[in-house]
Every structure is written in C-alpha cells, then in structure tokens.
Amino acid sequence: MIRRGRGLVQLPGPTNIPDRVLRALARPSVDFGTPGFAELVAGCLDELARILGTRGRVYAYAALGHGAWEAALVNLVRPGETVLVPETGRFATGWAEMAESLGIRVVRVPTDMRRPVDPGPVEAALRADREGRIRCLLAVHVETSTGIRHDPRILRAVLDAVGHPALLVVDAIASLASIPLEMDGWGIDVVVAGSQKGLMLPPGLSFVAAGPRALEVARTGGQPRRYWDWRGRDGAESYERFYGTPPVQMIFALREALDMLAEEGLPAVFARHARLAGAVRAAVARWSESGAIGFHCLDPDARADTVTALAFAPGIEPDPLRERARERYGVAFGGGIGPFRGRLLRIGHLGDLDEAMVLGALGVFELVLRESRVPYGRGGVEAAVAALAGR
C-alpha cells in the first residue's frame, strides 16, 4: 500500500526531528580543529548548562543515554560501593542492573510503579545505611516506561532530612528541555540527558552535568575509566572534549535545536508541552469512560507532560492497535517495555510537536480503536479540542 503524507512518531523517543535540524545534519564536514568549531561546542555546552540550571560542568559524549548512565556511574562509584535505586520502572531497573554489572552494590527500593515514588521507604533505606556505604541515589525524573514524573526535590528533601551525604544523580533523558528542571536549585548533583527526546535530535549524543560535589568525588573516586572520564575532557579543544573526533553534524544539529528552543523561550516550551499533554490526557480520560482503557499512572498530578501510558482491561491487547496505527496510518506509538511489555501503550508528546500533530495522532488512535472494536468512551478528540480551546 502506498501511503502519502507525513508519518508521525508519537514515541517517547526518538521524537520528531524538525526540518531545520535535519538540514543542519546534512551540512558537509568541516575541520573541527579550528577555534571557531571549539567555540561552537563550548557555546552549546554552556547553553545546555543554562537549560539545566547549573553552574556545574556539562560533558558531552558520542553515545546513547545508556552511555551517559555508565559515564555517571564510573566517574562516581567504585566496585563494591553502593547506590540506592527507587525502582520506578524499566529505566530505573536498567540503570540498577548496569551498576551491578560494574561491580557496584545496589540497594533497591521497590515501588508499585503506578504512583510517584514514596519518600518513606527511601528514607528508611538511607537511615539503615549507618556506615554511609551509599554513594549515590539514582533517580529517574520522568520514568518513560510508566509515564510518571518523579519529583527529584522530594528525594533531595529526604537526603537532607536524614543528613545523608549520597549524591543525587538524576536521569533527565525524558524531561530535559520539555518540563522544568533546575539542577542547582533543586539540589541535584548530577544530571544525565540525551539528544533524541526533548532536544529533537537523532539518538547518539548524550550529556552528563556534574556539580561541585560530584566533580570532587570523581577527582579521586570512581572506577578505572578512560573514554567516560570527566578528568580527561576539560580541555578547550573539541577533540579533547569528545575524547576523539567530535560528531560534527550532530553538533551543527544541536546548535540548531538550541537556537530553536531559545527562539521559542524555555517557559514557552514548557507551556507548550503542558498544553499538549493536557489535550492528550483529556482524550484519554474520555476514552477511559468505557472502563476498557485507563491511565497507568494513578496519581493525576504525577502524569508526565512528556509521555502518557495507557493501561487496558484484560483481553485488550495494545500491540495490535499500535501496529495498525503505524502500518495503516503512519503514526507510531510506543509499546510497553520491561515489566509492562505487551500491556501498555505509550503516547509520546515531547519535542517538536504542535496541536495539529497531537490532534492527528489522537484522531488516528481513536480511528484504530473504532476499527478494532475496542470499547472506548466516544469523543476523545473532541475532549482534546476542548482542552486546547481552554474550555
């Protein structure tokens, strides 16, 4: 079948890439050894620091988010030392498993994965650590597998209440440049981020921002490392900053994306994400009236403005719905991952997105529900329109 029009990726990553960014990626190579290119890189990293709200250092890697996870761990934690991980979903557990494969001990705090992290058990785990073995608290800001936003400020408050010196290390891969995040203001020591979500770039660049306490730990602590080592990446030359050839076209693309964010203004970027997320939630709430579909996240205030996870009544399989939306109508939705494989459908709503795209994606989903004879509350798109119209 020949399909016309433009496909949409309503995935929580990779996200839709704006034409301006695609054009930047198509630029020819340049000599990266010039002062001009070094300034381009430095300017991008400075701007990322501003977006993150930190006076700390931002390191960029030609790597996926998983690489940035590893970078944070090997710079901060020795084999045999301990990290604390609230198990909020597939990404938190994946990070914990990575730590274990690096010889790091992991104290897990289970959660029900349908609500934001409960500070009580985290506090108990910190209090139980009388010898101060826990070096880092690893937390995921938006747990992309569940669509739940976990406020890092709550974890900061718990660390402070206990007086525990562990560093607060936050995965902001699904929240950077989409919803508010104030690294220094919220007392976060390290932020891990990636390119293919709010930054509207392809996968392949990732970032770790480190504040003064983390940099101090990394000076003498952490594991044997080279590529990831912050200490080797402070030089002015872009070859040093990347510990090898800088990914030239990705840096052009990053510059373009940062310009686009600056033109719109971060507060407006956040407001757009909140508005569009509100439209998605209005549609889902209407569809839910049948009882066959519902929000995975049971706390309305913790539903993330970047991704919404839908749960289904027994007997309704989300994956065939996704397949039909993708193959017949060119709209890709995310599936369930980790413990939620085959059970959830995730609508990504972050990055380069507007009303037309969101309404189109919601309309296609409603069409697929109808064609698939899934019982759903009628009028989801109308509810989204009403939310966008402000009534």
List interacting residues with ligand PLP (CB under 6 A).
Answer: 12-13, 64-66, 91, 140, 144, 171, 173-174, 194, 203
- Could you tell me the smallest distance in angstroms from the CB atom of residue 13 to ligand PLP? 5
- Could you tell me the smallest distance in angstroms from the CB atom of residue 173 to ligand PLP? 4
- Could you tell me the smallest distance in angstroms from the CB atom of residue 35 to ligand PLP? 31
- Give the CB-nearest residue to ligand PLP: 65
Report whether 18 contacts 200 (CB < 8 A).
yes
Nearer to ligand PLP (CB atom), residue 174 or residue 253 = 174
- Return the SS3 of 135: strand
Nearer to ligand PLP (CB atom), residue 64 or residue 162 = 64
Q: Are strands 307-312 and 82-87 parallel, antiparallel or unpaired?
A: unpaired
- Could you tell me the smallest distance in angstroms from the CB atom of residue 255 to ligand PLP? 20
- Could you tell me the smallest distance in angstroms from the CB atom of residue 99 to ligand PLP? 14
Nearer to ligand PLP (CB atom), residue 72 or residue 276 = 72
Nearer to ligand PLP (CB atom), residue 65 or residue 377 = 65
Element (H, E) at 370: helix 355-371
DSSP H helical ranges for 172-330:
212-220, 238-241, 248-264, 266-287, 318-329
DSSP one-letter code for 118: P
Nearer to ligand PLP (CB atom), residue 197 or residue 286 = 197
- Could you tell me the smallest distance in angstroms from the CB atom of residue 30 to ligand PLP? 26
Closest alpha carbon to 118 in 151, 83, 167: 151
Place of tokens 């913790």: 302
Please, what's the largest Cα pairwise distance for the chain? 64
- Between helices 266-287 and 380-389, what is the axis angle to 10°? 150
Nearer to ligand PLP (CB atom), residue 13 or residue 222 = 13
Spell out the SS3 assignment of 253-282: HHHHHHHHHHHHCHHHHHHHHHHHHHHHHH
